[in-house]
């Protein structure tokens, strides 16, 4: 069984040799076409000459490649690389012509080894063009491949950075949630110890769920709603008739994904900084629907969003929400919060329906 590292290397070698055979086959085909245009007969000597051209071409360019790899020219900047390629291509084209003439004289007995320097230069220049084209394609391929490798490395680095940031944000969010929940129970201890005891049990269930969710980058809306229901039931125990709840959850939204505790954070923010400050209490409405492969969430709560306080305690949950959406979805996700008429606040979230992928295979070895 081949390892994941060996397979890409074999694939690149196969691509290299396939390119060699195809490239020189095209060159030989062009020679045949030119021979046809000149109306020369296709003789046995001509066929042997083509075979020599094909084999010698593959061998010479393969040696050229070995020189490139040994001298590490793939890492040289293009300004310094160009004169090297021009000189090396001319040197290999000259060697190619000399060896081809010798083989032709010994095997085909066609050209003879006696030729002038001018004839050698003319023939070498014609083949030099072929070697320059070969160099162009070879380095162009590696340039594209190296560019892709750098892009993959950047993506992997960015993904690792994002994951660290997400874990940091989630580690901030859980203590914040626990602190607020404990405040709820503290308020109930003196008012109704039995209810406080039941609330502790409910909080234990909530914390267990939140800890399990915290290990994931995204969860389904149905999982998130279960946490929201538990949390609102805990709040309902404290506020009693002062808190009115309503939900409008479309059935097709349940399998959509979102960051853990995102909806719960916005609901908590609405209660703590909206409803809890109203003597008569208020309402909180949670709505979820889909549109154009996006999950649309709305949280409407009684109260007023005070702009001057957003940089303080109110801003924690909102900033955390924006940062997590940015890290996971970039510009594809949207989050807004604004005041509505009749002393209400609207928080809206728009999340794309997509699977997050952080694992990218690195195939950085050159052929």
- Residue 266 CB-density burial (10 A; 0-12 exposed, 13-18 middle, 19+ buried): buried
Distance CA 34, CA 49 (A): 14
pLDDT of residue 249: 95
Classify the phi-psi angles of 277: left when phi > 0, otherwise alpha if psi is within -120 to 50, otherwise beta.
Answer: alpha
Q: Is the pTM of this model over 0.75?
A: no
Domains of the chain: 6-152 (no CATH), 192-352 (3.30.565.10)
Task: Give which of 275, 285, 263, 269 is closest to 180, Cα–Cα.
Answer: 269
Q: What share of the chain is helix, strand, coil (3-state, %, to 5)?
A: 70, 15, 20
Q: What is each CA distance from 76 to 50, 83, 102, in whole angstroms?
A: 35, 12, 35
pLDDT of residue 157: 56
Distance CA 131, CA 138 (A): 10
Rounded to a whole number, what is the largest CA-CA distance in the chain? 114
Helix (H, G, I), strand (E, B) or coil at 299: strand
Check: CB of residue 347 under 8 Å from CB of residue 322.
no
pLDDT tens for each residue of the chain, 367 residues long: 444 444 555 577 888 888 889 888 888 888 888 888 877 777 778 888 888 888 898 999 889 988 888 888 887 888 888 889 888 888 888 888 888 888 877 765 544 445 667 777 787 888 888 888 888 888 888 777 776 766 776 666 566 566 655 555 555 545 655 676 677 677 777 777 777 777 787 778 777 776 666 667 788 999 889 888 888 888 887 778 889 999 999 999 999 998 888 898 899 888 888 888 888 889 999 999 999 889 999 999 999 887 645 444 445 678 778 888 887 888 889 999 999 988 899 999 999 986 443 333 333 334 4
């Amino acid at each position: 069984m081949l390892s994941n590292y060996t397979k890409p290397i074999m694939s690149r070698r196969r691509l290299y040799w396939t390119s060699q055979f195809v490239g020189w086959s095209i060159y030989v085909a062009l020679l045949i076409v030119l021979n046809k245009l000149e109306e020369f007969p296709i003789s046995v000597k001509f066929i042997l000459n083509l075979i020599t051209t094909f084999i010698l071409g593959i061998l010479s360019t393969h040696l050229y490649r070995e020189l490139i790899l040994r001298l590490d020219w793939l890492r040289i900047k293009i300004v310094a690389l160009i004169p090297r390629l021009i000189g090396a291509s001319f040197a290999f084209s000259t060697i190619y012509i000399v060896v081809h003439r010798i083989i032709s004289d010994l095997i085909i007995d066609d050209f003879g080894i006696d030729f002038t320097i001018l004839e050698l230069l003319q023939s070498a220049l014609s083949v030099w063009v072929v070697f320059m084209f070969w160099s162009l394609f070879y380095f162009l391929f590696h340039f594209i491949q190296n560019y892709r490798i750098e892009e993959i490395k950047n993506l992997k680095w960015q993904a690792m950075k994002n994951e660290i940031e997400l874990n940091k944000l989630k580690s901030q969010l859980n203590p914040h949630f626990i602190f607020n929940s404990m405040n709820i129970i503290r308020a109930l201890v003196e008012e109704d110890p039995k209810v406080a005891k039941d609330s502790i049990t409910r909080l234990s269930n909530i914390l267990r769920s939140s800890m399990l969710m915290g290990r994931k980058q995204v969860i389904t809306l149905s999982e998130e709603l279960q946490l929201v229901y538990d949390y609102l039931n805990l709040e309902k125990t404290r506020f009693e008739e002062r808190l009115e709840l309503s939900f409008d959850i479309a059935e097709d939204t349940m399998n959509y994904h979102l960051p853990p505790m995102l909806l719960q954070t916005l609901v908590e923010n609405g209660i703590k900084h909206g409803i809890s400050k109203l003597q008569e209490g208020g309402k909180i409405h949670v709505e979820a629907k889909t549109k154009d492969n996006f999950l649309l969430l709305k949280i409407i709560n009684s109260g007023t969003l005070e702009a001057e306080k957003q940089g303080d305690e109110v801003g924690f949950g909102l900033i955390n929400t924006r940062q997590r959406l940015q890290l996971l979805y970039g510009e594809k996700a949207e989050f807004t919060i604004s005041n509505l008429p009749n002393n209400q606040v609207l928080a809206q979230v728009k999340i794309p329906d997509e699977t997050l992928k952080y694992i990218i295979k690195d195939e950085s070895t050159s052929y």
